[in-house]
Amino acid sequence: MKVAVIRTGVANLASVMAGLRRAGATPELTDDPAAVAAAPAAFLPGVGAFGAGMAGLRSAAIDRVLVDRIAAHRPVMAICLGLQMLARASEESAGVDGLGVFDATVTRFRGDVRIPQFGWNRVAPTADSALVQPGYAYFANAFKLDALPEGWAGAMGDHGGPFVAAVERGPVLACQFHPELSGDWGQALLRRWLEVSAC
Active-site amino acid positions: 80, 178, 180
Please state whether beta strands 41-44 and 2-6 pair in parallel, antiparallel, or not at all (unpaired).
parallel
SS3 content of the chain, % helix, strand, coil (to 5): 30, 35, 40
Residue in 165, 193, 172, 164 with CA at minimum distance from that of residue 71:
172
d(CA 125, CA 105): 21
Bridge partners of residue 2, in order along the sequence: 26
In angstroms, what CA-CA distances link 62 with 138, 156, 191?
27, 28, 25
Residue in 113, 70, 107, 72 with CA at minimum distance from that of residue 92:
107
Within 8 A by CB and 6+ apart from 108, the residues are 91, 92, 115, 142, 143
- Say if CB 66 and CB 44 are below 8 A apart: yes
In angstroms, what CA-CA distances link 39 with 3, 16, 136, 145, 150?
6, 17, 30, 28, 28
